[in-house]
Homo-oligomer: A and B are copies of this chain.
Amino acid sequence: MTKPCIICVAITGSLPRKADNPAVPITIAEQVESTQAAFEAGATICHAHVRNADETPSSDPDRFAALKEGLEKHCPGMIIQFSTGGRSGAGATRGGMLPLKPDMASLTVGSNNFPTRVYENPPDLVDWLASEMKTYAIRPEIEAFDLSHIHQAALMYRDGRLTQSPYVQFVMGVKNAMPVDRDVFDYYRATMARLLPDSEFCAAGIGAHQLTLNKWCVETGGHARC
């Protein structure tokens, strides 16, 4: 039997606006409707960001709560994953929605460069987010922007800072971080097999790179994101 492929739908994201793409769901109602269409088409994980009324990124727990309620009603059984990424807030506000107990939440365990700035994930913030995920039995999706992030996730799983085998997303194609490179992708997979043999992987690319990365993932036993 073939291994099933998990499809994760990343609704909204933190940056695109209606002016960039009128189809971007911004309000909770739009997000629920859009996710339901993806769910009915076969997506099983919803990776969610929320927005303020003016479309700027938010980490407001009330918005996350409303989204979760809508998704539970309209997409029963779908795996809900909240973003704790740094574009929606700073410091502890990034984890303020974790007491809502989503099934999963994203977790970046290291720092790296972004196109114009440093993506800051200081060690004490990483440890606090991980401890909240442990408290609320949330499975982390590690956003691996570089090789050491896979090693750090494996270390945190070994030493008990993470209690559930992490799902790992390879992030490629971000300017000033890791490029989209097949050799690195294959080495990431080999590193997963060596250090996190019970974990699954997927990949996120910027723009058109997403299709390339999904192809590489699906070919090699990983999962897809759209």
Contacts and interface: CB of A to CB of B under 8 A. Distances in A.
Interface of A: 110-124, 126, 145-148, 151-152, 155, 176-179, 181, 183-184, 187, 191, 194
A72 to B, nearest CB: 36
A123 B184 contact: no
Nearest to A172: B148
B146 A148 contact: yes
B111 A118 contact: yes
Residue among A123, A145, A179, A183 facing the most chain B CB atoms (10 A cut-off): A123
For this chain, the copies found in one complex come to 2
Contacts of A151: 178-179, 181, 184
Contacts of A155: 179
B118 A113 contact: no
B117 A113 contact: no
A122 B112 contact: no
A118 B121 contact: yes
A152 B184 CA distance: 13
A184 B147 contact: yes
Contacts of A122: 113, 117-118
A112 B115 contact: no
A20 B178 CA distance: 38
A173 to B, nearest CB: 11
A222 to B, nearest CB: 19
Nearest to A181: B151
A123 B112 contact: no
